[in-house]
Amino acid sequence: MMKIENVQLSNGIRIEYSLSGIKNNATLLFVHGLGANLRQFELQQQFFAKNYRVLLVSLRGHGGSSVPPNPTLADFTIRELSRDVQALLQYLEIKKVHFVGNSLGGMVGYELLELDAELLASLTTFGTATNLHTSRIFQWSLLRVVHLFGSKGIGWIVSKTGSKDKDVGYKLGKMYKTVSKDVLEMIMKNIEDYDYTGTISGHRIPLMLIRGSLDMDINRNLDTTLNVLRNNPDFELFELPIAGHFANMDSPDNFNEILDRFLVKQSIKSYL
């Protein structure tokens, strides 16, 4: 059973997290996508806790993590989400992590790179583009769907469309149903137009991008990301066939193997 704990940060936000594994070993931090929560990475925790210290976190407004009183758009920027993660690491006295982020979680990784690059030993993203400029019509359509159907309706839609695996779809839908439509709407508005290409081009940390072959919407927006990342000598790109936006859930064994190889490689480099 996953051991889940909560801590109230100095900013008043209560953050849900799960910490397991070997205390003095390197820490591996997983951050979920929009609408999900720390349970997205349950299988990764089981796999990596044998050799690492593994930290899973639910971002504010997700899972069992709280929201500010009378929340506003400014409370749900990527920077605010990232500051919560930064504060949690400080509370747990963790000074450096191998960061793994899906979609929104990948953006949090890019934001942490701006806030405090020393926190990151490496950065792995999947389902995340470094820049996105959503058309107003498309963004309006997405927000309209969320407004009309609410979190339960969105959870049902995601359960049917989030994965070709019915069991994965069911788990995704269950997570999405716990997030309020207000939180979904505010975060969606904050990420409709962003650009982290300058951030990743200005740092030379080990960076891996895992590309699910079925994640068409993101894959169509990865050209700029890949052009920038290929200039980083410590960048690696891995293709994950028959995996979509939630690649770690669609193909957990292959995902774990790819990530494990990358982490072992970083460990070897640190000793050379």
- Whole-number mean pLDDT of the chain? 93
| Beta-bridge mates of residue 132 | 194
Q: What CATH number is given for 5-131+194-271 in this structure?
A: 3.40.50.1820
pLDDT of res. 135:
67
Which DSSP helix (H) or strand (E) runs through 210?
strand 207-212
> Distance between CA 243 and CA 250 in Å, rounded?
5
Q: Are 126 and 77 in contact (CB under 8 A)?
A: no
pLDDT at 157: 87
Q: How big is the CA angle at 62 (ends 134 and 258), to the nearest 5 degrees?
A: 75
pLDDT tens-digit series, residues 224-244: 889 988 888 899 999 999 999
Report the pLDDT value the prediction gives residue 272, as an integer from 0 to 100: 59
Quick one: pLDDT at residue 152? 85
pLDDT tops 90 at residue 271: no
Q: In this model, does residue 143 exceed pLDDT 80?
A: no
Backbone angle region of 236, left / alpha / beta, with phi > 0 → left and psi within -120 to 50 → alpha: beta
Report the 10 Å Cβ neighbour count for 78. Answer: 21
User: pLDDT of 9-57, one tens digit each?
Assistant: 999 999 999 999 999 999 999 999 999 999 999 999 999 999 999 999 9
Measured between alpha carbons, how far is 142 from 136 in angstroms, rounded to an integer? 10
Q: What is the DSSP string of 64-102?
A: T----SS--GGGGSHHHHHHHHHHHHHHTT---EEEEEE
- Per-residue pLDDT, averaged over 72-96, amounts to 97
The runs of H, that is alpha helices, within the chain are: 42-48, 78-91, 104-115, 136-161, 166-176, 181-190, 197-201, 216-219, 223-229, 247-250, 252-271
Section 174-197 average pLDDT: 93
